[in-house]
Amino acid sequence: MIMTGTVPQYSMKWRTITLQMIGPQLALYTKEEPSKVRYLRFQYVQNNLIGLKELQIFLKNPVIVGFVRLRCIIRVPYIWLVIYQHIEKKVTNRNNNKHPQGYQAPIFIQKSNFKTYKDKVLYILNSIYDSLGGPQELSWCLHVIKNDFLQISNSLLSTTGARRFSKTQRIITYDDGIEAGVINSWITVLLNANFSLNNPLMSSNALLTDPKSNRLSDYPVTKDIMQFEQLINSNEFDAFELHSVTKKNSLYFMLQYMYQRFDLENQMGINASKFQVFSMKLQATYRDNPYHNPIHAADVVQNVFLYLSMGGAQEICRVQTFDIAGLVISAAAHDVDHPGNNNLFEIKSKSKLATLYNDQAVLENHHTATFFFLIEDEGCNIFETLRPDEINKMRKYIIDNILYTDMTKHFAFIGELKSMPDKADYDPTEKHKYDIMKALVHAADVGNPARPFELCKLWALKIVQEFFQQGDKEKAMGLEISLLCDRKTTNLGKSQIGFIDFVVLPYFDAIARILPDMSYCCDQLRQNKLQWASTVDFYEKLREETGNEKI
């Protein structure tokens, strides 16, 4: 064989030649002398093959020589193709292993004692970050890892079909949403009365630029952030608009507002940074359901705040900062990781959640457990500064508040509330205080029918949309369709009248016996009932013509 070019030349006379690729080498040997293997190494210059231009086989018999040469002529293109593909693959792999431009050698890290893998990863990345001059992309990575945005908790698992615990559904990043510092600065100004609505520097549009703003078209912005101070203190609070103005961070906003409003840092020692991380993670753990989402949670937080102030609960029950913190956190977490189905669906479908909680308050138990798993993470353990007895008290308080949002307890609870003021030992400041607090969380949860009618209608459309999605799933699974979940038979106007008459109004009438100022909700419910009555014919026609497919 002769190899010309820069590759060393070999001239050999063999009767039978076998070629075999072994790594980056070409092995040649004969049947007569298989142990005498010759390896030809290929050399690369500027990523191209230089040598191997000619291949000649010499045999002593001229006839065989001619015959073999003819076969070689036929087979050489195939051999060359195989050789070329193999060499090209090796060259590509070698190029891919080259260091990119600007590469710096790994930093030597001295042996240290790290508490967690996360601490070690952050130490390494911070060292690289400093050595590279602080690139923005790496800064973002550090931000995500430091705040555990890759995974809310090791306890939050995902399973096939029905999930026991969910991972983060959405994450606040520099690319999507709004940085926490901006919202917190808004809240500080809101609570500081020294601001002007005409100040362009405090406009949400001036503070924020969102290249993906077209995604907010579902909730068009009509109010500036500075106007929400007044709305937070009224029944006209529009959580949909707040969600839009804050770039889909309504729940985070409401939690931070309450944190600053009631000075939880100084009054309870709750760390500000940890409360911010907790607020972001809690918001992120809500799913993208039509109704049970972070917008609903923000609305419930505002409602309990309104019941404390406008409803008179803070004065009558002598509510302390500890009570307010538990109330607000319960309201914010009461539907966390809601799957968009009700308890009956979970039980009928034999979901893993139903199995886990033995068909008892399935979702309410799940919401409560998810919240406590969330604060197990050191970065958002908002109760770490409380004494052990305070932690136990807060835990029981939050568990009771969330479990009592279970609708199976609703009618029994109405009876308890009606009889409560008539008891000889009735004391709203001590013995019955926390029963009233439970009642307020549940009232806030079912209380959007007591909003002004346009808001009430919007919430009704959202919940019915979620009901219909459940009904569609039940139909597909061969299950009996739950009440109000069949889009073919449900009249929205009639369903809302029934909901006000038999569920919401009796409940608020009972609360108004304890907190007389809550009667504003009862008045609004009666007004909305009349408004819904005027829509019955419209929704009946819509049902007959479209089967509620447009809802």
DSSP state letters, 225-276: GGGHHHHHTSTT--HHHHHHHTTS-HHHHHHHHHHHHTTHHHHH---HHHHH
Considering the candidates 143, 243, 292, 367, report the single residue annotated as catalytic.
Answer: 292
CA distance 538 to 541: 5
- How is residue 405 written in tokens? 């949002």
Q: What are phi and psi of 495, to 5 degrees?
A: -65, -40
- Residue 85 assigned ligand-binding role: no
The neighbouring-strand residues paired with 181 are none
CA distance 331 to 414: 20
- Residue 294 assigned ligand-binding role: yes
- Residue 410 assigned ligand-binding role: no
CA distance 508 to 453: 17
- Residue 496 assigned ligand-binding role: yes
Residue in this structure with the two tokens 């293109």, named with its chain if needed: 77
Q: Which helix (DSSP H) or strand (DSSP E) does residue 45 occupy?
A: strand 44-45
Q: b vs e for 264-281, b when ≥16 Cβ sit within 10 Å of the residue's Cβ?
A: beeebebbeebbbbbbbb
CA distance 343 to 357: 11
155 contacts 373 by C-beta, under 8 angstroms? yes
The neighbouring-strand residues paired with 22 are 25
328 contacts 258 by C-beta, under 8 angstroms? yes
How far is CA 420 from its chain centroid?
Answer: 40
What Cα–Cα distance (Å) separates residue 354 from each residue in 208, 340, 357, 442?
43, 14, 5, 22
CA distance 76 to 27: 16
Q: What are phi and psi of 46, to 5 degrees?
A: 55, 45
Tell me, yes or no, if 243 is annotated catalytic. no
Sign of the four-CA dihedral 442, 446, 448, 451:
negative
- Residue 295 assigned ligand-binding role: yes
What Cα–Cα distance (Å) separates residue 535 from each residue in 165, 463, 467?
40, 17, 19
Instruction: Give me the amino acid identity at 67.
Output: F
- Residue 445 assigned ligand-binding role: yes
Contacts for 192 with CB less than 8 Å, ≥ 6 apart: none
281 contacts 212 by C-beta, under 8 angstroms? no
Provide the 3-class DSSP secondary structure of residue 382: coil
469 contacts 340 by C-beta, under 8 angstroms? yes
Among 43, 50, 52, smallest CA distance to 90 is for: 43
- Residue 176 assigned ligand-binding role: no
325 CB-contact burial (10 Å; exposed 0-12 / middle 13-18 / buried 19+): buried
Residues annotated catalytic, as ranges: 292
Annotated binding site for AMP: 292-296, 335, 445, 496
Annotated binding site: 292-296, 334-335, 445, 496
Annotated binding site for Zn(2+): 296, 334-335, 445
